[in-house]
Structure 1
Amino acid sequence: MKNVPCLSRSVYEGLCEKVGNSTKVNFRREVIDITEDLLSTSNVCFENRCYKFKLSGSFREGFRLKTSDIDMLGWCLSDKVVSNPSQICLYHNPHHTVILMECDDLPPGFTRLKLIVPGHVFHEISCVEINDELYVPNYSFTKNMVKTLESTDFNRTFYHGPAISMVSALLETDIVICLKSDHWPDTAKPWIQRCQQSGWPVETVVSQIVNSGCHVVPIGSTSDENLEWRISFSNAEQMIVYSLNHCQFICYGLLKIFLKEVINEQSKSPILCSYFIKTVLFWVIQNDRTLKWTPENLLCCFWNCFKLLIHWVNTGCCPNFFIPQNNMFKVKVTGHAQAALFDQLYDFYANGIECLCLSPTIKLYFNDAIINKNLPFMQETSRYLNDVHVLEELQTIGKIVTPLTVKNLEEVVVFMNRIEKFLKGNITKYQAAIVQYMTALIIRYAGMILQRMLQKKMCRKHTYLTKKWACSMFKFSSAIGSVPEHLYLAMYYYGDGQYEQSLRCTQRARPCSVEVKSFNAMMRKCMIYFINIGNADTFFGELVIEQNANEEISGKSGELIIPFNVMLHMMLILNYHKLGARVLAQQSLQDLRTLLHNGKRSHVPTIFREIYPYVYARLRIYGDPYYDVPYADISWQILGICQHICGDYLGALNSYQRSLAVKSFHRIHKATYLRMLISLFALIQSRSKYWDG
């Protein structure tokens, strides 16, 4: 194919729009890095054992593709894994569990874990005795962790391989509970010399990687090897991806897209995964230092990676980047599957670089270059961060800062001290936005902790002070946070019987209907997210039945995730009803009914059709909840509750039926049937009064 530099540039520019330019990718990483750094003292405790969790995988690397799952690593801080006996003496704390890696007579890249110093009964129960020595088996470790995590607020917990898939109302993620070693394994030390000889990665990156150690995950070389653990270099891989220049990162994205849209799409049983693609990229960069990683040479770089992948499939050997003796194709890419995959890849290779046109995404960029001889490159302004993109990315913080992260007021104080120190440095407006959004979440969680304390018996003075402090927390959160924070304050006032105050806060929570000029104002007025109410958060009694039903069925915290617009209308209806404004309550009820029936296409006066265009047309951070299956049940349920309160019992029955008809994410069927009985009884009573009259 002619004009390869032109085509390369076109694909590069197109992928910068899809994958993200260097500024956007760096900001995505910065959001996660700053948040995790400020929360570095926060740990999650299960059964008196403290665990640290860290985002990993392609999402952490900076990708926001549809296939970029939320992956996390978690490990117990008191478990200390050492790679040789000389390191055992470094740990003297009686609470530490010291475990020794033994790699002799095992497949490369795998290890046995021998218990040296038992620090907790958990390991003693899980261990297997061999020749008077205790070893930690991977299967019982994973099984115990699944049982432990089932006690959390995740609705569903199951595992596949080393990962435990966990689903909550807000998040679906794969968590690998592993063990952490602060030491670089002996079997990977030749990697350091290889890096020094090739000059990649650079010495500073290699030093950081070695000092960070590694992880061991509970999976063996085969399913029958229960005593084997795989040595994982997830943290090292993340650091290497961070060190890539943007053309290398875009090539990584191009390989991932080609794998998903072409290779795996045409295969009945895909056997290649993105981890193999990442390994290919690392080897190509390290082995060929003459290759120019520039936008005009992107397709050439891709082709080199593709040829190496074909070679590996042909030989049936994919060497691990850190331990080359570990053939990652050994189990997965063999026999007929290997032969079929090689034939498929060789057919692509025979077509040349044009095989990229088989990808719908890449084909568009090729067409742009062919049709438009004068290729319109991206304008320079797009190199800078876009305010809308920043608001989209800030939503990542909500995946890290959760009620599990902020468990008590002492931790809130620690977080605020760290934030105060961070703000004393020279920071950009976007870094300030990260901290501001994070602070609003933490302060709101502090208010919820104080509110839960009100459920305990206290003297009048302590009750008064606790209510005062809780109110102050919600006020502060609403002052610096986005519009949903106003709803939390409104819910607090409503639960306290201050309906006029609650109504004013609810009205302030309406999305901005005028042009927002400053970024800070746009962040506060236009960023919308779901309202999260746990069973312990009894702001008001109208949803207690649903919370109790969820808690009874799932055995969890009775967590309800309510779309912002639904909660906004509910608060308007409840406050208008309490204040005796029947006409306004009916108008808000009609707005909610229209919204649920028609979604974004509905005509809801003053709130949604006059909204500043950023919110729905450009922002894209808030999907249409009424077609979003996980939350449709609670949306229709709330409409039914509001209709019942306003006296429309027949309408309430219809809404409850709609709630039963959609997929139940919140598991509130029992509450819905109870609501239907209540509305039916009220309807019969109203009809009997009518006929008696």
Structure 2
Amino acid sequence: MDFLSENVYIDAGFQHLCESVFVRLCQIVGTSVQVAIRRETRDIKEMVDRRVADNDDAIDVQSGSRREGFRLEGSDVDYMYWLNNHRVIFDMSQSEYYYTENKTLILSDSSESPPGFTLLELLTPTTYRKVQSACVPMNDRLYISSSLFRQQTQQHHFPGSIGHGPCESGKVGGLEYDLACCFACDFWPLSASSWINRCHSWPDREVVNEIVRNGCHFVPIGHPLGLHEHEEWRISFSLAEHKLVHSMNHCQFLTYGLLKIFLKEVIDKQSEETNKLLCSYHMKTVIFWVIQQNAVPLWCPQNLLAGFWVCFKHLLKWVYEGVCPNFFIPENNLFLSKVHGSAQRKLFLELHGLYEKGLACLLQSASFKYYIIYILYNPRLSINANEDRMISECDHDKELFTEMSCNTSYYPQNLDRCIKYLHTIELMIGEPLTQYQVLTLQRSTATILQSTAFTLHNMYTNTGLNKQMYIADRMSCLMLKLTAKFGLISDMMYIAMFYCKTFRFREALYITEMIKVKLAQSGLMYRKHVDPERYTEAVGGQSWSTKMRQAVAHDIILNNYACYIKELTLEKQFSIQNNWEITCIPLFVLLHFVEFLCYRHNDTTLAQTALEELQVLVHNDQGLYILDVLRDISWEILGICQQMTGNLQAALYSYQQSITQYPLNKIQNATHMRIQDLHIT
């Protein structure tokens, strides 16, 4: 059967509907500007991390749909990480590119594996215990077992996490995550060489060269039908796929988004028997093939649904044939272990039923049903597909500042590392960067200077070397004041913490009062909470730097390798023991905490007032000022303050509440110790 022969009839009414769906997709998926912000801010984060990484570090990158630029409801956050001092090669001649004294080499052996899968032979010794423990002897050689490696590396960071394919999967504050430990390879696999030769029209040669130059990865999952399922590894082209998605035009990207939505809201709702057979990776694969084969002559808003329909027909053909060819290694049939037999026939009939309805099948989508009906009943309605008018200044800024806050956190462990970060950023400033990357780099500089200031000061505390202590103190103050000049309102809290830490309580309180005045402004953007009209009225049309200083605030992230508040030393230590590098504290909780610490030295009445304000906030906030995932540290801080005032029963209650919260900050051990220290029977 040839489902690809039929064309969608295109007329003015169809173009009008396409433009309408384009606008709706921009609302759901994002405009090209929003997508660029998401990608470019993450690009700069990973660029800095890679350049700073030492040979024995682990490299981590975001992968999956969020890295591609999606922020769809229910989308998970995917991360891949690998050991920087381990590399996979495809033949022994490639070993000459490495200094084996500091690199562990692994040989890919795919002679007995299905296409897209391989065995990994350990060639040189490794000092990494988890790799050693995953090794199994086969044919007088030592291979790294994918199943044993998964067991060793999946640490189950948060409650409820499970193994899911090659990943550890779980949920943090309603956001699902997948975390995969893998191995990196600097070479392009021979089995994917045909892909290079196929790239005549898309992607362009520059993208192809960059993809090939960056190699591939190996994730710990074998083929269920392979001879060595528990030992095999799958070749991953995740980073190459990011490049391909980023090289799409916005109409192609929105069509990809429409396919993902259609899968979730229509295909998966057909029956329980078939709702797990297809996944978003199949949607990605189909649009890759459709774009490369020039099956759609013009990708534009007026032709969007035609592009979607061609993709859907390709998918239908694949299900009918039982073959979904991997985009890089077509011999790897992605349907082989799932879409076959009675399930395949059932899925085909369901998809064919949707196909027979034509584009009316989109009416089964909750995201589009009423929108399309409204458009069809109002054919004269004017649709403006101009993206510049789809997003307000406030929404644009909210997107930018939110993505920046997610991609500018760095946690250097010592002063040398701080300096390496600063030097790396200094070199990057002269490179060709987009406006969003420049701003992200500026924000990153503030974050690293804050860590540097406290790390430097902690080095000279209690050394008895007065001159060095004075110099360190002065330099730390200058760095923190500098960050406040081009940072957010909340960056002033670092100055207040520093003054509190160094017993300059009056200066600290002066800063907290300034912060409170700024936070009381009606146009404040706190995380994503903002009144658009008042925000625009307050800072509309001004530079992003001005907006950050005057109207934007976020929660406070503390680097656990530095000491900011000595009263949280216990929490910091246990957090590090639990392999957690940061402590994230709600801004308003920290504000009241610092005020309490300062007032208790000279005004017990005002200290009590600060404590009462903190108590009201922690007890009554409904998510406006305290995110649910930050309630562990919020109750903990309240308990610490209550314990310091001698109210042990109240402190016990707060600590008990802290233990019951989601353990984002990994402080449960510290909380248990504080409860024991109360000596309440």
Which TM-score band applies after superposition, normalised by the shorter structure? 0.7 to 0.9
Does residue 330 in structure 1 map to residue 331 in structure 2? no
For residues 655-678 of structure 1, give each alpha carbon's deviation from its aligned partner in whole angstroms, at most 9, with x where no partner exists: 566556655555666766787798
The code of the aligned residue for 1:64 comes to R
Residue 569 of structure 1 corresponds to which residue in structure 2? 592
1:282 deviation in Å? 0.9
1:421 deviation in Å? 3.6
Does residue 132 in structure 1 map to residue 127 in structure 2? no
Does residue 55 in structure 1 map to residue 57 in structure 2? no
Asked if structure 2 preserves the Cα contact closer than 8 Å seen for 1:95 and 1:119, the reply is: no
TM-aligned CA distance change 1:158 to 1:472, over 3 Å: farther
Residue 611 of structure 1 corresponds to which residue in structure 2? none
Residue 86 of structure 1 corresponds to which residue in structure 2? 93
Larger mean CA deviation between 538-547 and 235-244 belongs to 538-547
Larger mean CA deviation between 50-59 and 408-417 belongs to 408-417
The code of the aligned residue for 2:633 comes to I
Q: What is the alpha-carbon distance in structure 2 between the residues aligned to residue 173 and residue 218 of structure 1?
A: 17
Asked if structure 1 preserves the Cα contact closer than 8 Å seen for 2:454 and 2:476, the reply is: yes
Q: What is the alpha-carbon distance in structure 1 between the residues aligned to residue 144 and residue 188 of structure 2?
A: 20
Larger mean CA deviation between 238-247 and 329-338 belongs to 329-338
Matches within 5 A, 1:86-125: 86-118=93-125, 120=127
Does residue 264 in structure 1 map to residue 289 in structure 2? no
Match of 1:243 among 231, 244, 247: 247
Asked if structure 1 preserves the Cα contact closer than 8 Å seen for 2:108 and 2:118, the reply is: yes
1:447 deviation in Å? 2.3
Q: Secondary structure at the match of 2:298?
A: coil
For residues 382-437 of structure 1, give each alpha carbon's deviation from its aligned partner in whole angstroms, at most 9, with x where no partner exists: 36884643443344455454454x23323333332333344346766544321221
Q: What is the alpha-carbon distance in structure 1 between the residues aligned to residue 296 and residue 594 of structure 2?
A: 64
The code of the aligned residue for 2:148 comes to S
Residue 505 of structure 1 corresponds to which residue in structure 2? 511
Asked if structure 1 preserves the Cα contact closer than 8 Å seen for 2:319 and 2:339, the reply is: yes
Residue 317 of structure 2 corresponds to which residue in structure 1? 311
Does residue 279 in structure 1 map to residue 285 in structure 2? yes
Larger mean CA deviation between 90-99 and 497-506 belongs to 90-99
Match of 2:224 among 222, 226, 234: 222
For residues 497-553 of structure 1, give each alpha carbon's deviation from its aligned partner in whole angstroms, at most 9, with x where no partner exists: 1111111222232326162352322212333322234665443344456556x559x
For residues 7-58 of structure 1, give each alpha carbon's deviation from its aligned partner in whole angstroms, at most 9, with x where no partner exists: 111110111122111122122211112232233322277xxx3322222211
Matches within 5 A, 1:26-45: 26-43=36-53
Residue 16 of structure 2 corresponds to which residue in structure 1? 6
Residue 210 of structure 2 corresponds to which residue in structure 1? 208
Residue 553 of structure 2 corresponds to which residue in structure 1? 528
TM-aligned CA distance change 1:170 to 1:18, over 3 Å: closer
The code of the aligned residue for 1:110 comes to F
Asked if structure 2 preserves the Cα contact closer than 8 Å seen for 1:530 and 1:564, the reply is: yes
The code of the aligned residue for 2:68 comes to E
The aligned length equals: 646
Does residue 599 in structure 1 map to residue 621 in structure 2? yes
Does residue 472 in structure 1 map to residue 474 in structure 2? no
1:359 deviation in Å? 1.3
The CA RMSD over aligned residues, in Å, is: 3.6
Q: Secondary structure at the match of 2:332?
A: coil
Q: What is the alpha-carbon distance in structure 2 between the residues aligned to residue 234 and residue 317 of structure 1?
A: 21
TM-aligned CA distance change 1:168 to 1:441, over 3 Å: farther
For residues 169-211 of structure 1, give each alpha carbon's deviation from its aligned partner in whole angstroms, at most 9, with x where no partner exists: 9997423222222221111111222223xx2222222222222
1:463 deviation in Å? 4.0
Residue 634 of structure 1 corresponds to which residue in structure 2? 633
Match of 1:77 among 76, 80, 84: 84
Residue 343 of structure 1 corresponds to which residue in structure 2? 349
Q: What is the alpha-carbon distance in structure 2 between the residues aligned to residue 320 and residue 374 of structure 1?
A: 42
Does residue 24 in structure 1 map to residue 34 in structure 2? yes
Q: What is the alpha-carbon distance in structure 1 between the residues aligned to residue 287 and residue 64 of structure 2?
A: 16
Does residue 442 in structure 1 map to residue 448 in structure 2? yes
Match of 2:72 among 40, 65, 69: 65
Does residue 161 in structure 1 map to residue 165 in structure 2? yes
Q: What is the alpha-carbon distance in structure 2 between the residues aligned to residue 180 and residue 431 of structure 1?
A: 26
The code of the aligned residue for 1:68 comes to S
Match of 2:184 among 174, 180, 187: 180
Match of 1:254 among 246, 258, 268: 258
For residues 641-667 of structure 1, give each alpha carbon's deviation from its aligned partner in whole angstroms, at most 9, with x where no partner exists: 445666877766765665566555556
Larger mean CA deviation between 479-488 and 113-122 belongs to 113-122
Q: Percent identity?
A: 37
Q: What is the alpha-carbon distance in structure 2 between the residues aligned to residue 213 and residue 169 of structure 1?
A: 34
Q: Secondary structure at the match of 2:367?
A: helix
Larger mean CA deviation between 82-91 and 317-326 belongs to 82-91
1:161 deviation in Å? 1.9
Q: What is the alpha-carbon distance in structure 1 between the residues aligned to residue 47 and residue 656 of structure 2?
A: 47
Q: Secondary structure at the match of 2:325?
A: coil
TM-aligned CA distance change 1:649 to 1:95, over 3 Å: closer
Residue 687 of structure 1 corresponds to which residue in structure 2? none
1:313 deviation in Å? 1.8
TM-aligned CA distance change 1:17 to 1:441, over 3 Å: same
TM-aligned CA distance change 1:416 to 1:169, over 3 Å: farther
Asked if structure 2 preserves the Cα contact closer than 8 Å seen for 1:154 and 1:556, the reply is: no
Unaligned runs of 5+ in 2: 1-8, 523-537
Asked if structure 2 preserves the Cα contact closer than 8 Å seen for 1:16 and 1:250, the reply is: yes
The code of the aligned residue for 1:630 comes to V
